[in-house]
Structure 1
């Protein structure tokens, strides 16, 4: 297949088409899958991810108990190993809708249940594999094995995984969407995880990427790279990357007492889009500014710091820079990030710049969340409209006014609200006159 230069729009269009239509082609009837085995415990080890129903055909001499049976003939059966089978048996073979869960499936990683259509006792055609993570894999089954292109959906029904299976096992390249609109890209290991070298994290712009070694989807070490080109192979978009360069990044998750990232190592994504200058807002000090044109919905900066979990006692008293990770669940329901006083200045800390964005009651940006390869799950800043170069970025801090009036360090926030309220009242009076 001919390779072509890869733009972000190519990736977005391909992904959005899968969201709307799924895969168009189905695997051929000739499957390379192994034949179903009468002794499924020999088919895989505890490390393997193998999506298949080992109990195809007749139950035969398997010890089982009928737990429930509906008038229509639909039965729930428990096997000796605690595996649950559901379906309608005709002449000893399952036909139509059926399910397998628990028991044997729990020998291997991740799988909770498999559902689909049975023909002559064998799972054939479209089926679903439900994982412990909450993701549901949808694809075609051949002779009881998941086989061919597969899409994975989260509990909200959003597409979060694309890959291929052969004989129930993941094979080749896979894509995984992460919270905050980044992607993992690379080959899965035998347990179905992004583990190994030459795995990439694509930042939300789908241009910037870290490529290197990952373990179970988490960065071990990687360096900056760029996508060289892309080509389509059996409806799966495959990428090639330029040689990595620049400093090494690792997963440096903060703790309650330590910011583990090298404080002066700039984030390779942020430095392309924003910079710190003197704010244009009165008395604000530093501000965060756009370096390039930014479109609505673009991720522009990240907020890393110490991580304070509910019921933790913070190591310092200042609360000037605390930002909840889940901004829509403040208080005891969310972790929050905060910066020690010595890290406020960019002379001492510029690994992330989100703390430099100033407040506005009419902001051009908003808080959201991202699964960042270096910082972990932290707040991100997203544009609310198109923004011109050199324009200052602002966010609504969403501080409860009842709390603000009780804190001396938030007097500026109360004053801004007072000015805005007065301006709104004056405007209303003028309109009434």
Structure 2
């Protein structure tokens, strides 16, 4: 770990990554750029740090202004961990994989009621509720691999025999529309209590809650497919900004760009579809230095474009990509996405977790192995064609 002192107008940067962790040079360059943005007071970088569009992913920024671009377009994106009321050994994974194709389709539940129960008003994007989206988003059925902190696991109600769902998704087009509005006149910095700042935060907070509801509905649809009930363990957004009181009473903005809050319970930290995921307990000792945050996952090692040259997706290769090293199933009908999200695209999750432990940020409670990872049943083109076909049939009725 290193701390860069304030220099050339840049805020100090604290990096929670050992020399054993691989961090791309461009991510470091972006980190320095972010530290020099107007009003930035402190920056903390996690071991999953990697380059992003408007700044590095895997960092936390404390500023006296709101920078919408640092939150990004997928406002409220995060992880929801749920326990299924069924033993993992009783799941018929092949059948469940077929049933989960429903996640490619619009939710057939009462979306209006779900929004009302969550205290949310309607938006133009509510038809997307209950859908995962593309990129690195997923819904994964997991089983407990090991419990390493039995007391903490017992307090959380973990059952080593039960199956679990880990959902990674966000606010879909809703968050993108908010960022688009905020950046209409270019990148901007908003005073936290200004009219513009209040307007952004109102829309932002709506998107954060919308994304949380989205993960809940995805998990509920998965539980229905598994013919069982579910229980929430924790849900944490990792793309967001929060207003908080500063040391002198002024209002500050804490931005998390690919970082999970470390003051709201246990934190799920996934690897890739071919590795274990971790559930960690945040520790208090280093909370202030790390700006009350932890890593949110393994972090990308290679960008999406380069993965098309690194991973073959010919017909003979697809069978390998649709299984994980634990014998689990990967559902992804989009060959391009299969390549872009291949396990080798990501950093070593064991190394990321080791850094969190070595720097006193967290301890491991349990590990989970992937049984079934659902990303997308069809490619975008096939899905559009399927929807057109359904619309045509409905018009013919």
What TM-score, normalized to structure 2? Answer: 0.23
Higher percent of residues as strand: 1
Q: Which has the larger radius of gyration?
A: 1
The structure whose RCO (Cα within 8 Å, separation 6+) is larger is 2
What TM-score, normalized to structure 1? Answer: 0.22
